[in-house]
Amino acid sequence: MNILDPKKIKIEKDLKGSLVLNAGDGKKYQRVSFILLFPFTDTENYISAVIKNGAEYNEIGIIEHIKDLPGKIRGFVKEDLKLRYFVPEIRDIRSIATKYWFHEFDVITDRGEKKFYLRNVREGVRFKTDSSIVITDMEKNRYKIPDYRRLSSKARTELDRILL
Say which residue, 87 or 94, is predicted with more confidence: 94
Alpha carbon of 160 to those of 14, 35, 50, 80: distances in Å?
A: 47, 34, 40, 35
Instruction: Give the pLDDT band (50/70/90) at residue 4.
Output: very high
- What is the pLDDT at residue 1? 80
26, pLDDT greater than 80 = yes
25, pLDDT greater than 90 = no
- How high is the mean pLDDT of the chain? 93
40, pLDDT greater than 80 = no
Phi–psi pair at 14, nearest 5 degrees:
-85, -175
Instruction: Give the pLDDT band (50/70/90) at residue 140.
Output: confident
pLDDT, tens digit, 9 for 90 and up, residues 94-133: 999 998 899 999 999 999 999 999 999 999 999 988 889 9
- Cα–Cα distance between 62 and 4 in angstroms, integer? 6
39, pLDDT greater than 80 = no
Instruction: Give the pLDDT band (50/70/90) at residue 77.
Output: very high
Angle (nearest 5°) at CA 69 between 42 and 73: 100
3-state secondary structure of 136: strand
10, pLDDT greater than 90 = yes
What phi-psi label fits residue 72: left (phi over 0), alpha (psi between -120 and 50 degrees) or beta? alpha
Percentage above 70 pLDDT, the chain: 100
